[in-house]
Amino acid sequence: MTSQKKSCDWNTTSELYLEYHDKEWGVPVFDDKKHFEFLVLESAQAGLSWLTILKKRENYRKAYDGFDPKKVARYSEKKKAALLANPGIIRNRLKIEASINNAKHFLEIQKEYGSFSRYIWSFPKGKQINGDWKTLSEIPATTPLSDAISADLRKRGFRFLGSTIIYAHLQATGIVNDHITSCFRHKEVKRSFSLNSKVLGILAILLVFILNFSCMGKKDNNLPAGNENGLPTQDQAGPLQELPDLADTIARFSRELARKDIHPDSEAYVEDFLRWFFGEAGIPDRIAYKAATSVLESPAFFMEFFEILNQDPYTYFLVDKKHPLPDNYEPDDLVPLKAGKFLLARDGLLLRKIALDALEEMADAAAEDGITFTIGSTYRSAEYQAQVYAREVEAYGRETADRQSARPGTSQHQLGLVIDFSPIDDAFVNTPASGWLTQNAGRFGFSLSFPDGYEEVTGYRYESWHYRYVGKDLAIFINNYFEGIQQYALQFINAWQEQG
């Protein structure tokens, strides 16, 4: 299927190059090892095409010990000779020597600043620079920013990192977003930075939350006083600023947020976040309390959450009656399903590749337990979904149709990530396949979208056959923190995004 997405015109048919553009180029990088990887590769590129380097990237990863700067900084003459003899990388003595030299100075910056990421992001003051380019020809090769960083690195002893190479590094690592404005990735990369820039702020916010959660009233058993779930009721808690010591705590951490230039009105931001956490995301008290207590025990909740935000954004995109897909959305990596690992109820079924790969892995595991899936429905275009909805209305009336079929633009099926297992009716819940999926689907990244007893939450009646691919990390996250209810987790993510 031909992609409907407008992209930067890189004038290439290389799948490797296109995948790099669509998934990696311009995504904000805060991980030091990833920064070092790009510095090694970019300095090796000098005088060559980036595609040449991409083709050798995995060879470099193996040759350079996973781009670990500590190991590279200790490379001996013997290791240097091995690199010079390695046909899988660019065998240029000056570039190889520069990479070892640069690793040593990279470690010095880490020691001085705490991380290389903090050092390099300090030049634009922690903010992403978003280009306003209409065509690729408008994008500069260097800027005053790249000049300044290159000059500073040169003073520190780095080599083969001139202004042109540094500007390429800024583009690759999302410090500069140079996707042209008509490219579908321009807004996605911009949003990705908005989410990642909250990491430091949320750590401070969590401290506020933890400290004040513990002072919202105590019982003799040391559990928070309040409703039957242990949470303070609105009447008990009162206005946030009236809670014991809360105003002082908020003010103290707000000053830290303001000092780090995270939010212009930090105090209001903290207070709004606390209010939102329990309210605007539509999360029930019992689940909010469970998440809160898990945060008290460890930071795993938000560490896992931030990892999820780095995956394909449509795996966690909230699609329901109140949250439609973007106009004319159509996935560009749909692939046809072929019978073999599973049965097909009809021809012409399509899924996005990530979902199909996961389905095939899951089908193999099910087969070992004597289960064979039959696939009834997968991707639906907006036009096809309109036909499905119209048939439901004609057969059952609009009120019933709205309980069991989505209007076009609001169907998860349009994501290309949904599978309806056959039979697509209430009889499916009694099949061996249904029982197996209930126990195992999450291990492969699938989540039941419309569980029994949650129609008021999801907007749709129980559909035991309807599973959405959300990725393994998010599936675990849903089960660990949201009682297995996909809708709550997606509402949480959506509210987080809207907060930014």
Annotated domain spans of the chain: 15-183, 198-298, 313-499
Cα–Cα distance measured from residue 410 to residue 326, given in angstroms and rounded to the nearest whole number: 10
The residue type found at 89 is I
Could you report the per-residue pLDDT of 158-185, keeping only the tens digit for each? Answer: 999 999 999 999 999 999 999 999 999 9
Active site residue 276: no
CATH topology of domain 15-183: Endonuclease III; domain 1 (1.10.340)
> What b/e readout covers 279-313, taking b as 16+ CB neighbours within 10 angstroms?
eebebbbebbbbbbeebeeeeebbeebeebbebbe
The pTM for the full model equals 0.52
Q: Which of 20, 64, 269, 289 is catalytic?
A: 20
Residue 388, CA atoms < 13 Å, CB-side half-sphere: 20
Same topology between domain 15-183 and domain 313-499: no
Residue 258, CA atoms < 13 Å, CB-side half-sphere: 13
Active site residue 24: no
Q: What is the dihedral of CA 240, 232, 195, 458, to 10 degrees?
A: -130
Q: Which residue has the tokens 């990088």?
A: 29
Active site residue 10: no
Q: Does residue 5 surpass a pLDDT of 60?
A: yes
**Within the chain, how many helices (H) and strands (E) appear?**
23, 9
Q: Which of 50, 113, 396, 436 is catalytic?
A: 50
- Per-residue confidence (pLDDT) for residue 490, from 0 to 100: 94
Cα–Cα distance measured from residue 369 to residue 353, given in angstroms and rounded to the nearest whole number: 25
Reduced to 3 states (helix: H, G, I; strand: E, B; else coil), residue 344 is strand
Q: Using alpha carbons, select from 231, 205, 38 the residue that is nearest to residue 117.
A: 38
Highest mean pLDDT among 79-83, 134-138, 214-218, 293-297: 79-83
Cα–Cα distance measured from residue 59 to residue 67, given in angstroms and rounded to the nearest whole number: 11
Correct CATH for 313-499 of 3.40.50.10490, 3.20.20.70, 3.30.1380.10, 2.60.40.1180: 3.30.1380.10
- Indicate if the alpha-carbon torsion angle 454, 455, 459, 460 is positive or negative: positive
Query: Pairing relation of β-strands 334-336 and 446-450?
Result: unpaired
Q: Which of 25, 37, 42, 392 is catalytic?
A: 42
The residue type found at 381 is S
Could you report the per-residue pLDDT of 203-214, keeping only the tens digit for each? Answer: 444 444 444 433
